[in-house]
């Protein structure tokens, strides 16, 4: 039961990250209510990853922090799947 709740939360966060990434390519998308909601879900995970990423690679033009967060979420899911 707990495992299914955690998997569902991880899936919601993954979808929010995907929507946030796709919205970054659309002009003025950050002003919509749906994107503000997904940003409030994905932002607390993406912002520390972005800070770390841009500290390690200050001159990179492409933001790979969503991929890093998705990898971490996948490792968490794999850890819980062995329980």
Give 35's pLDDT tier (boundaries 50, 70, 90).
very high
Query: Quick check: helix, strand or coil at residue 22?
Result: helix
Cβ–Cβ < 8 Å for 5, 34: no
Summary mean pLDDT of the chain:
92
- Please report the pLDDT score of residue 59 as a whole number: 87
Q: Residue 37's closest CA among 66, 9, 13?
A: 13
Cβ–Cβ < 8 Å for 25, 40: no
Cβ–Cβ < 8 Å for 59, 43: no
Query: Percentage of residues in the chain with pLDDT exceeding 70?
Result: 100
pLDDT in tens, 36-72: 999 999 999 999 999 998 899 888 888 899 999 999 9
- Please report the pLDDT score of residue 83 as a whole number: 74
**pTM, whole model, 2 decimals?**
0.87
């Amino acid at each position: 039961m707990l495992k299914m709740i955690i998997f569902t939360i991880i899936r919601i966060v993954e979808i929010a990250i995907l929507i946030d990434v796709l919205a970054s390519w659309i002009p003025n998308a950050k002003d919509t209510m749906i994107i503000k909601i997904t940003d409030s879900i994905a932002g607390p995970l993406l912002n520390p990853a972005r800070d770390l990423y841009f500290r390690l690679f200050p001159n990179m033009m492409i933001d790979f922090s969503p991929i890093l967060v998705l990898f971490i979420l996948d490792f968490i899911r794999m850890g819980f799947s062995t329980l």
